[in-house]
Amino acid sequence: MPSHSPFSNAVSRQINKNIGQAIHKYKMISHNDKIAVAISGGYDSLTLLWFLMKRLPRIPIQYQLLCIHVDPGFENSFSKMLQQYIQSLNIDIRIDYTNIGHIAHSKENHENPCFLCSRLRRKHIFDIAEQFSCNKVALGHNKDDLIETLMINMFYAGEISCMQPMQTFFNDKLTLIRPLAYTDAAIIRKFAKNFQLPQFNNPCPSARNSKRSDIREMLTTFYKKNQKIKGNLFRAMHNVRTDYLLPQKESKE
């Protein structure tokens, strides 16, 4: 890859374009932001970090990056290796060692460990972001994640909702952003392999046996049959015709 341009590769140009569209549409990043990048160790968050780094010298604003990783407490943790990798990029990282994974997989919560784990990890990330005066938290969720969340909520929660590309919390003191919201998971995987991003094995026992993985498998089957389905699902989230939905149930007092 030519040293003068980190986006000379077609795959990196496409992801950079998608990220730029999301950031511009939602005004995700402003000058002098301090952004906490939540690093799970997967390709999505590592790809997001790579682009947030490489975009800095090429845009007219400046921002600071701080990586946060919440270790859920499982055996075979990769946190030390992840820390070494992030530090090799000359970026600060904070590792939060917890027992969230064991709490989420307790007998009392065996039906939905992923939901509780996600909620607890989010709280830890927000707490650390506040501690280090970050005003933005960047998550690596991509287009596929948004679609899958829509289906999960319809199938298992009985509601039509999904992740938002940008959300504010605590009276606008903290803003959560998802710059990969317009980027397909497949191109992220292709980029990560082409650019040899490190791969860390997820020790979570529910990693390959969850509601999300079931939904993903179902959607993959439909995508193979009709390539337009993913795009239609994504557009549907922007094109909600409330006049053709059932009236909302009255809340119980």
63 strand-pairing partners: 33
CB neighbourhood size of 54 (10 A): 14
How, if at all, do strands 33-38 and 63-71 pair? parallel
| Rounded Cα gap, residues 172 and 59, in angstroms | 25
How, if at all, do strands 136-138 and 92-97 pair? unpaired
DSSP three-state, residue 174: strand
Mean pLDDT across the chain: 92
Share of the chain above pLDDT 90, in %: 77
Domains of the chain: 10-240 (3.40.50.620)
| Rounded Cα gap, residues 23 and 21, in angstroms | 6
Alpha carbon separation from 236 to 10, 64, 185 (Å, rounded): 28, 35, 19
DSSP three-state, residue 126: helix
Contact indicator for 82, 200 with CB cutoff of 8 Å: yes
* Model pLDDT, residue 195: 92
| Rounded Cα gap, residues 21 and 181, in angstroms | 10
Asked if pLDDT for residue 206 goes beyond 80, the answer is no
Alpha carbon separation from 51 to 86, 129, 195, 238, 240 (Å, rounded): 14, 20, 12, 26, 31
Dihedral of alpha carbons 169, 172, 176, 178, sign? positive
Give the residue with greater pLDDT, 76 vs 91. Answer: 91
- Residue where the block lists tokens 């027992």: 99
| Rounded Cα gap, residues 114 and 16, in angstroms | 30
Asked if pLDDT for residue 1 goes beyond 80, the answer is no
> Which tens digits make up the pLDDT trace of 80-136?
999 999 999 999 999 999 998 888 888 777 667 888 888 999 999 999 999 999 999
| Rounded Cα gap, residues 16 and 7, in angstroms | 7
Return the axis-axis angle of helices 185-194 and 143-152, rounded to nearest 10°: 140
DSSP three-state, residue 106: coil
| Region of residue 32 (left: phi > 0; alpha: psi -120 to 50; beta: else) | left
Q: Is the pTM of this model over 0.75?
A: yes
**201 confidence band (pLDDT: 50, 70, 90):** confident
| Rounded Cα gap, residues 39 and 53, in angstroms | 14
Asked if pLDDT for residue 209 goes beyond 80, the answer is no
* Angle at the Cα of 144 from the Cα atoms of 45 and 220, rounded to 5 degrees: 125
**6 confidence band (pLDDT: 50, 70, 90):** confident
